[in-house]
Amino acid sequence: MHIINSTLTYLHDFAFYYPFFMAYLWMLGAIYYRVMWENKQKRKIDDPPMLDLEPPVSILVPCHNEGANVLDTVDFLLNQEYSNFEVIAINDGSTDNTGELLDQLESKHEHLRVIHLASNQGKAMALKTATLLAKSEYLLCVDGDALLDKYATRWMIRHLVKRPNVGAVTGNPRIRNRTGILGKIQVGEFSAIIGLIKRAQRIYGRIFTASGVIVAFRKTALHEIGYWNNDMVTEDIDISWRLQLNHWQIFFEPNALCWILMPETLSGLFHQRVRWAQGGAETFFRHFNHLFQWRSRRMWLIMMEYLTSVVWSYTILIIVAIWIMQQFYNISDLVSVEGLLPGWAGTLLIFTGLFQFTLSVIIDSRFERNLHRNIFWMIWFPMSYWMINMFATVVGFPKAILKKQGQRATWISPDRGIHQ
Amino acid sequence: MKSLIIDSPKQLNLRQKYAHNIFRFLLALTWFYCLVPVLTFINWFLAYTFFEQNFILLEGYKEYQSSTTLAYLTVIAAMIIWIILWVNLKKVLDVKGVGKEHLAPVSIAEISGYFNIEQNKVAEYQKCKNTEVHFDQDGNITELKQR
């Protein structure tokens, strides 16, 4: 009995300490990144460093039923402040008017090319086809509902040009839709969690995901690893891990902004996060054998971070389950957990969350001046982030285990919030 | 063209509006709950005599001098040291471009070989503005057509 209770005490401590110390690790990493790299550039976002010769870039936009968004997306892409680029829009078997809209645009714009896939093949195959037909060594992939900042291409491509071992560069996604509660909370999450994590992960030297919504690739790197896998629910996590396992570097470019739409309903958000959690687990299982080899040691920190987060999710599940049982049955002789309501430790966590947000506002204020206006909503983001991720991992992890091998991933039309 | 930031409460339906207001109220309460310890702490500093009595004479500082607080600070200090050491070690290990600098950009021959399509055809369709692509059941490209 004593062993069970002392184990539970350890689990309870772990449940608290993990998010607490991870928050400080991300903050410290982000501060270091900001001071040592971002500040040293001394450049404004609209003043990216110029290359002596701008190499050709192919901007790939996979679209499936994007009739409502594709005009704006392509319009932003065609306005890139870059001298040498083509835009390739891929209509992946859309059943709405995406194809017709793209054909109309293609006839008007010299830099726009269109590829129609006769049948729906999924995002990975759409990107592979466009890569085959793209003229350039450098590819920039953007989602069909995202708006790319006009300086983003210049900010990202310079890393690929200057460093031959950089295989990909991920940009800085920013949330557009902030009408509902979930939209507002995600603004903080993308700044205070994702922005800080990416900076901190660059400090470790490896990145968990080069976000598929805005990422630049070197075609040679993609060819070396065999391009995107058709059967992964999150092709971006998989390709990020494979590039890094093959010793390609992935850089994060915070100045490359991309304005994105995110879910604003609880079910939409939950489905998206389950898909991300499943994708992370699928990637982990797919590369399990490689990950433990000595040559993959640079990935161990990322792997440990991932595995600890999975263990943490199940720990929380166990604690909550026991706490609920305690409310209905007298099991205190057998097992007992302390209350779930925030005491001193909870308050400390909430303050850590606010501190984290304040830091992200300071770091990100040059991208969005009015970011601090969301601070009223931000008190929820640590709780919502950790709780949603906990539930998503608990559901997504077994889904990855039970998934049939080789099953093709298909397009999922996500909830894109209130944006019409 | 639409604006970048979309914040239009008018588009919320009645249920969403109620949820929004309930959350706003809960949030205000939580803010208040969180601010209590901060306000107490600030008051201590502002009323120095009171602070002196509570924090020093009545040994209130011991609340913050626990082994747990020291453990937190130690771990956070260890993280700072680790980050500084690791970044500088990485600078030594990751020499710019090492390992990949010899790789030539992938050629049309290599890429068309990978996709099992004739090289001439790939070169031709790389110049085409509007292309239609057909696939077999396994997702292999079977035909490229100009539109």
- Contact indicator for A150, A105 with CB cutoff of 8 Å: no
Report residue A58: phi and psi, to 5°: -105, 120
Least confident of A1-5, A91-95, B121-125: A1-5
Q: Give B 76-115 residues with CB within 8 A of chain A.
A: 76, 79-80, 83-84, 86-87, 90, 94, 96-101, 103-106, 110-112, 114-115
**Predicted confidence (pLDDT) per residue in A122-144, tens digit:** 999 999 999 999 999 999 999 99
**Predicted confidence (pLDDT) per residue in A335-357, tens digit:** 777 666 556 667 677 778 778 88
Please give the pLDDT value at position A320.
87
Which amino acid makes up residue B55? Answer: F
Interface contact B126-A248, CB threshold 8 A: no
Please give the pLDDT value at position A343.
60
Question: Cα separation of A225 and A210, whole Å?
Answer: 15
**Has residue B125 got a pLDDT over 70?**
yes
Please give the pLDDT value at position A339.
65
Q: Looking at the partner chain, which of A119, A163, A376 has a beta carbon nearest the beta carbon of B96?
A: A163
pTM above threshold 0.95: no
Question: Cα separation of A305 and A296, whole Å?
Answer: 15
Q: Looking at the partner chain, which of B11, B90, B106 has a beta carbon nearest the beta carbon of A418?
A: B11
Supply the DSSP string of B4-67, one letter for each residue.
SSB--GGG--HHHHHHHHHHHHHHHHHHHHHHHHHHHHHHHHHSHHHHIIIIIIT-GGGGGSSH
Q: Which residues of A222-235 are buried (b: 16+ CB within 10 A; e: fewer)?
A: bbbbebbbbbbbbb
B123: nearest CA partner in chain A = A133
Which range, A67-81, A257-271, B85-99, has the best average confidence (pLDDT)?
A67-81
pLDDT-based confidence at residue B44 (cuts at 50, 70, 90): low
**Has residue B86 got a pLDDT over 60?**
yes
**Predicted confidence (pLDDT) per residue in A51-94, tens digit:** 999 999 999 999 999 999 999 999 999 999 999 999 999 999 99
Q: Which residue has the higher pLDDT, B66 or A303?
A: A303
Least confident of A2-16, A380-394, B49-63: B49-63
Question: Cα separation of A40 and A58, whole Å?
Answer: 30
Interface contact B80-A420, CB threshold 8 A: no
Nearby residues of B76 by Cβ (< 8 Å), 6 or more positions away:
A21, A24, A28
Report residue A117: phi and psi, to 5°: -85, 125
**Has residue A150 got a pLDDT over 90?**
yes
Averaged pLDDT, A365-381: 76
Nearby residues of A129 by Cβ (< 8 Å), 6 or more positions away:
A90, A115, A117, A121, B133, B141
CA B142 and chain centroid, separation: 40
Please give the pLDDT value at position A147.
96
Q: Which residues of B touch A132 (CB under 8 A)?
A: 111-112, 115, 117, 122, 141
